[in-house]
Amino acid sequence: MEKNYAAKDKNKIIIIEKDSIAEELGLEVGDRLTKINGKPINDIIDYFYQLADEYVEVEVEKKDGEVWLLEIDKEYYEELGVEFENPIMDKANSCSNNCVFCFIDQMPKGMRETLYFKDDDSRLSFLQGNFVTLTNLKQQDLERIVEYRISPLNVSIHATDPDVRRLMLNNKFAGDVLDRLSYLIENDIEVNGQIVLCPGYNDKDVLEKTLRDLYALSSNLKSVAIVPVGITKYREGLKPLTVFDQASAKKTIDQVYVLQNEFLKESGSRFAFLSDEFYMIADTPLPEYDDYEGFIQLENGVGLMRKFEFELDQALKQELSLPNIPSTTIFTGTSAYEFMKEMVGKINKKYPSLDVEVIKVMNDFFGHTITVAGLLTAGDIINKSKDHVLKEHVLIPEVMLRTGEPVFLDDVTLTEFEKRMGKPVYVTKVEGQDFLDQILGRKLCQNQ
């Protein structure tokens, strides 16, 4: 998310890690890192690249304006142990596309400003796993990625057919994605790809062509995740789009399954993976645990449920004596509702005294076509809770909150939410062991 950072605060240090090089050298919060090895540090990639040596000279401007030049002997990839106010130490590159499926274009007015910023920055791809389209990059930018070894890189591909990709991204420069990917891969940059699948645009024959084209690059293009388009009720003035239904989702699963088997026989990898949402829409069983080949694309919801179930099954093998298991209300989205009931049933089978209710929350804020828990707002959950008598504790998955902060999409804090619920509220990771611990009352820490 984009913020404005004043030039005087560029590269300002906000955290000094304990027992770090920075602490040993006497650096302080508020100091600014200006140069490494005599070269200005313009962004986080400069910082990592210049720091990757056993001897470095670091120039720091102290809070009082005094300039220190520090000579540092360290391990080759050892960092200083600092965090900066701006994580990428520069303004993030905004997106030059106008994608037909862009979720930001489908959001209501009046939300916090940072939610409307469209980033398309290769540095955020490297640091945070964000997906980029590569359309913002000039040749010198691609060369810098290679020189600085910005790898792995997550790329939103969507289609390899130039005309289809230009149409979907509404960008006349978007058609050369295969050339750009080939350049990166030939120079040993590892890439993970993403396809947002939109019925009528890049599905069916276009999808097959895209996957075959990408598979031909699979020496360093490690995987491709395929996720269904999400459509909110706020599409006034936007191009028409349809969502997947049970029949079309099932056809897509069958189509990709055939290609997966072909790729697996040839290379030992399925290469392309569908997100869990396709299987939920199609009401079709998820692939087996080993079929996900190490869960390369969890951030895209690929295999998250199967991994969660496996972890829960492992956790349930423990023998525990728990005389006082608290009763719990769990809120989730419509797509995960049946799955969560099944997971609670597994726990209930081992612990018969378990008293847990799973509540399905429709997304009134964005529209009922949005079914994932991660896009539910506090307001929708609160409204739904009025129809139920809540148990002793309320449990929500951490995907409902902003990354690293206890805040919902509608800017309601976790503390405010708890007050409105009138019950202690706990947050669970999307991990089987953590979920079990929370349900059994072994890890209940109030989120104040």
151-155, 291-295, 367-371, 415-419: segment of lowest average pLDDT: 151-155
236-245, 256-265, 286-295, 328-337: segment of lowest average pLDDT: 236-245
Say what the pLDDT of residue 6 is: 46
Q: Say yes or no to pLDDT of 271 above 60.
A: yes
383 with 363: CB under 8 angstroms?
no
Exposure b/e, 140-153, CB count within 10 A at least 16 = b: eebebbeebebbbb
Q: Say yes or no to pLDDT of 118 above 70.
A: no
- pLDDT tens digits for 298-356? 989 999 999 999 999 999 998 877 767 889 999 999 999 999 999 999 999 999 889 99
Residue 334: Cβ-neighbour burial (10 angstroms; 0-12, 13-18, 19+): middle
| CA gap 316, 340 in Å, rounded | 15
> Domains of the chain by range and CATH?
7-84 (2.30.42.10), 104-301 (3.80.30.10), 309-439 (3.40.50)
Residue 201: Cβ-neighbour burial (10 angstroms; 0-12, 13-18, 19+): buried
88 with 131: CB under 8 angstroms?
no
Transcribe 303-370 into DSSP letters.
SHHHHHHHHHHHHTTS----S-PPPEEEEEETTTHHHHHHHHHHHHHH-TT--EEEEEE--TTT-TT-
Q: Which two tokens stand for residue 363?
A: 């997304």
Q: Say yes or no to pLDDT of 119 above 90.
A: no
| CA gap 72, 77 in Å, rounded | 13
The stretch 230-256 carries a mean pLDDT of 94
Q: Which two tokens stand for residue 113?
A: 């400003």
The stretch 254-273 carries a mean pLDDT of 97
Q: Which two tokens stand for residue 357?
A: 């209710």
- pLDDT tens digits for 59-109? 999 988 999 999 999 898 788 998 888 766 655 555 677 889 988 888 887
Nearest to 51 by CA among 36, 64, 39: 36
pTM of the model: 0.81
Q: Say yes or no to pLDDT of 125 above 80.
A: no
91-105, 257-271, 385-399: segment of lowest average pLDDT: 91-105
Nearest to 96 by CA among 137, 41, 44, 55: 137
Say what the pLDDT of residue 113 is: 63
Chain mean position to CA 60? 33
Nearest to 276 by CA among 312, 225, 344: 225
Which of the four pLDDT bands, split at 50, 70 and 90, describes residue 4?
very low
Average pLDDT over the chain, rounded to whole?
88
- In the chain, what are the helix, strand and coil shares in percent, each to the nearest 5? 35, 15, 45
Q: How many CB atoms lie within 10 A of CB 19?
A: 8
Say what the pLDDT of residue 122 is: 43
